[in-house]
Amino acid sequence: MQKARLLAEPAREGLPGYDPPTLNIGCSGWFYWHLKGSFYPTQMSTKDWFAHYAAHFDTVELNAPFYSWP
């Protein structure tokens, strides 16, 4: 069904005023110890983790602002 629908719809690319949607890929944070050695280099300092993360992803989700500080 999906393939038939896509074939039946006219192609939108190239039409005036058509902007394809933006897709941002990221994680729900960057400070995860279990990623050391697999995503973060083993010898990398934790203070450099965010810069390393930002070099690979264009977004990050932080949910801390939704909680009150103790």
- Residue 9 domain-assigned (yes or no): no
Q: Is the pTM of this model over 0.95?
A: no
- Residue 53 domain-assigned (yes or no): yes
pLDDT band, residue 58 (cuts 50/70/90): confident
- Residue 1 domain-assigned (yes or no): no
Tally of domains within the chain: 1
Residue pair 42/36 in contact by the 8 Å Cβ criterion: yes
Q: How many CB atoms lie within 10 A of CB 40?
A: 19
CA distance 25 to 34: 20
- Residue 42 domain-assigned (yes or no): yes
- Residue 6 domain-assigned (yes or no): no
- Residue 7 domain-assigned (yes or no): no
69's CB contacts (< 8 A; 6+ apart) are none
Domain with 68 in it: 19-70
Distances from the Cα of 22 to the Cαs of 39, 54, 69, in angstroms?
Answer: 25, 17, 34
* Tens digit of each residue's pLDDT (9 = 90 or more) over 1-33: 567 766 666 666 666 777 778 888 888 889 999
- Residue 52 domain-assigned (yes or no): yes
pLDDT band, residue 51 (cuts 50/70/90): very high
